[in-house]
Protein backbone atom coordinates (compact mmCIF):
# COMPACT_ATOMS: atom_id res chain seq x y z
CA UNK A 1 0.00 0.00 0.00
CA UNK A 2 1.45 3.34 -1.11
CA UNK A 3 0.25 5.31 1.93
CA UNK A 4 1.80 2.80 4.32
CA UNK A 5 5.10 2.89 2.42
CA UNK A 6 5.13 6.71 2.38
CA UNK A 7 4.26 6.79 6.08
CA UNK A 8 7.05 4.36 6.90
CA UNK A 9 9.51 6.48 4.86
CA UNK A 10 8.47 9.50 6.92
CA UNK A 11 8.80 7.49 10.13
CA UNK A 12 12.26 6.31 9.07
CA UNK A 13 13.36 9.90 8.46
CA UNK A 14 12.15 10.86 11.94
CA UNK A 15 13.93 7.87 13.46
CA UNK A 16 17.24 8.37 11.68
CA UNK A 17 17.39 12.04 12.56
CA UNK A 18 16.48 11.66 16.21
CA UNK A 19 16.84 8.09 17.50
CA UNK A 20 18.26 7.59 20.96
CA UNK A 21 19.66 4.63 22.81
CA UNK A 22 19.54 3.91 26.52
CA UNK A 23 22.29 5.50 28.57
CA UNK A 24 24.32 3.29 30.89
CA UNK A 25 23.27 -0.10 32.20
CA UNK A 26 21.62 -0.64 35.55
CA UNK A 27 23.12 -3.18 37.87
CA UNK A 28 20.45 -5.80 38.47
CA UNK A 29 17.70 -3.20 38.18
CA UNK A 30 15.19 -3.19 35.34
CA UNK A 31 14.78 0.39 34.16
CA UNK A 32 12.34 -0.04 31.33
CA UNK A 33 10.55 2.97 29.92
CA UNK A 34 7.44 1.04 28.93
CA UNK A 35 5.09 -0.70 31.31
CA UNK A 36 2.22 -2.77 29.99
CA UNK A 37 1.51 -3.66 26.37
CA UNK A 38 1.65 -0.21 24.77
CA UNK A 39 -0.39 1.09 21.86
CA UNK A 40 -1.03 -1.14 18.86
CA UNK A 41 -1.04 1.76 16.40
CA UNK A 42 -0.55 5.52 16.18
CA UNK A 43 -1.44 7.66 13.17
CA UNK A 44 1.93 8.24 11.46
CA UNK A 45 1.16 11.92 10.84
CA UNK A 46 0.95 12.44 14.62
CA UNK A 47 4.47 11.08 15.23
CA UNK A 48 7.29 13.56 15.70
CA UNK A 49 10.05 11.14 16.69
CA UNK A 50 10.65 7.40 17.08
CA UNK A 51 13.04 5.85 19.60
CA UNK A 52 13.96 2.18 19.47
CA UNK A 53 15.57 0.94 22.67
CA UNK A 54 17.15 -2.49 22.18
CA UNK A 55 17.31 -5.17 24.84
CA UNK A 56 20.03 -4.20 27.30
CA UNK A 57 21.30 -4.95 30.80
CA UNK A 58 18.99 -2.22 32.10
CA UNK A 59 15.84 -3.57 30.39
CA UNK A 60 15.15 -7.06 29.06
CA UNK A 61 12.53 -5.80 26.59
CA UNK A 62 12.78 -4.23 23.16
CA UNK A 63 11.00 -0.89 23.50
CA UNK A 64 9.62 1.38 20.79
CA UNK A 65 8.68 4.84 22.03
CA UNK A 66 7.10 7.56 19.90
CA UNK A 67 7.03 11.25 20.71
CA UNK A 68 3.81 12.81 19.48
CA UNK A 69 3.51 16.21 17.83
CA UNK A 70 1.94 19.23 19.57
CA UNK A 71 3.42 18.34 22.97
CA UNK A 72 1.11 15.33 23.29
CA UNK A 73 3.85 13.40 25.10
CA UNK A 74 5.55 10.07 24.58
CA UNK A 75 3.82 6.73 24.08
CA UNK A 76 5.11 3.19 24.01
CA UNK A 77 4.14 0.96 21.12
CA UNK A 78 3.25 -2.69 21.47
CA UNK A 79 6.24 -4.48 19.94
CA UNK A 80 3.98 -7.42 19.03
CA UNK A 81 1.56 -5.33 16.95
CA UNK A 82 1.74 -5.51 13.15
CA UNK A 83 2.14 -1.72 12.98
CA UNK A 84 5.21 -1.70 15.23
CA UNK A 85 6.73 -4.77 13.56
CA UNK A 86 6.31 -3.03 10.20
CA UNK A 87 8.09 0.09 11.50
CA UNK A 88 10.97 -1.94 12.97
CA UNK A 89 11.32 -3.99 9.77
CA UNK A 90 11.22 -0.92 7.53
CA UNK A 91 13.84 0.91 9.62
CA UNK A 92 16.08 -2.18 9.65
CA UNK A 93 15.85 -2.50 5.85
CA UNK A 94 16.63 1.19 5.32
CA UNK A 95 19.53 1.03 7.77
CA UNK A 96 21.01 -2.00 5.98
CA UNK A 97 20.64 -0.39 2.56
CA UNK A 98 22.31 2.82 3.79
CA UNK A 99 25.43 0.91 4.86
Domain residue ranges in the chain: 11-87
Distance of CA 71 to the CA centre of its chain: 17
CA angle 95, 86, 69 (to 5 degrees): 85
CA distances from residue 50 to 27, 65, 68 in whole angstroms, order as listed: 26, 6, 9
pLDDT value at residue 18: 44
CATH code of the region 11-87: 2.40.50.40
What SS3 class is residue 7? helix
Is the pTM for the entire model greater than 0.85?
A: no
Give the pairing type, strands 47-53 and 74-77: unpaired
pLDDT in tens, 26-54: 455 568 999 999 999 999 999 999 999 99
- State which residues of the chain have pLDDT below 70: 1-30
pLDDT value at residue 95: 84
Amino acid sequence: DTNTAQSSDTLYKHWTSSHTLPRGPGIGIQRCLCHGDGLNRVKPKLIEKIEIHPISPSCKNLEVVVTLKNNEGRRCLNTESLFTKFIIDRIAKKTRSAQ
